[in-house]
Amino acid sequence: MTKPPARVPQRSNARSNRERILATARRELGRNPDITLEEIARASGVVRRTLFGHFPGREALLEALAEEGSQALKSALPAEPEPAERESADRAFARFVLSMWTVGDRYRLLLALTRRDLGVERVAEILAPARRAAAAILDRGQREGVFHTQLPAAVLSAGLEAMTVALLEEVNTGELEDDGTHVAVAALIAAGVPEKQARDVVDEIAGAARTVTDD
């Protein structure tokens, strides 16, 4: 008896098409927030029916991008150490900013799109884990005298987040070229850390990360 043809390649092709559509959507939406699904399909190299088979509408596509962004942000968050093993708050915040920078540029425009198309609540849901982590580090640093106390931790965190998003936009326009280290130093300074100390902390954290990557 002849066995039916395997369906794995077909499933693999469908998965590849979906991933390509999402990658193209991230890129093209960054260039033109009003791009149509038909234009995204052409840019992805698939027919309109294939795109709509995966994403029946603009909202479905943006929701898929939002979920993808949410998972990336969660994965990028540094693990929370045990209290006895905690590093200083300035080091912890530098590590946090550097980790978030690796996914920030990929989703900076997505946040604006979801705010417009899917609503502020969805954006807040995506960013909630990162916002909680940042506010917790800043709160600890304020209590330990590492960061200034001119603003409540949550407010300071919101201000630093807005600054980071603005700097990501400057990278997009070509006005700034950064691997995250300059932004991390600026964030520490804005939080109240002396400039030399901020530079030393970021250099140490970034240098250690590069060493691990090279190994």
- Do residues 73 and 7 share a domain? no
Tokens of 141: 């640093």
- Do residues 12 and 96 share a domain? no
- pLDDT-derived band at 45 (thresholds 50, 70, 90) equals very high
Q: How far apart are CA 89 and CA 199, in angstroms?
A: 15
pLDDT reading at 2 higher than 60: no
Q: State the CATH number of the domain containing residue 29.
A: 1.10.10
| Count of structural domains, the chain | 2
- Do residues 18 and 72 share a domain? no
- Do residues 18 and 88 share a domain? no
Tell me the per-residue pLDDT of 87-139, one tens digit each, with 9 for 90 and over.
Answer: 999 999 999 999 999 887 666 766 777 777 878 888 888 889 999 999 999 99
Q: How far apart are CA 138 and CA 148, in angstroms?
A: 9
Closest by CA position to 66, among listed 17, 14, 29, 97: 29
Q: Give me the pLDDT at residue 138, please.
A: 97
Q: How far apart are CA 138 and CA 191, in angstroms?
A: 8
- Do residues 70 and 147 share a domain? yes
pTM for this prediction = 0.80
Backbone dihedral angles phi then psi of residue 11, each to the nearest 5 degrees: -65, -40
Residue span of the structural domain in which 103 resides: 64-214
Q: How far apart are CA 155 and CA 191, in angstroms?
A: 11
User: Are residues 117 and 174 in contact, defined by beta-carbon separation less than 8 angstroms?
Assistant: no
Q: State the CATH number of the domain containing residue 164.
A: 1.10.357.10
- Do residues 167 and 185 share a domain? yes
pLDDT reading at 8 higher than 80: no
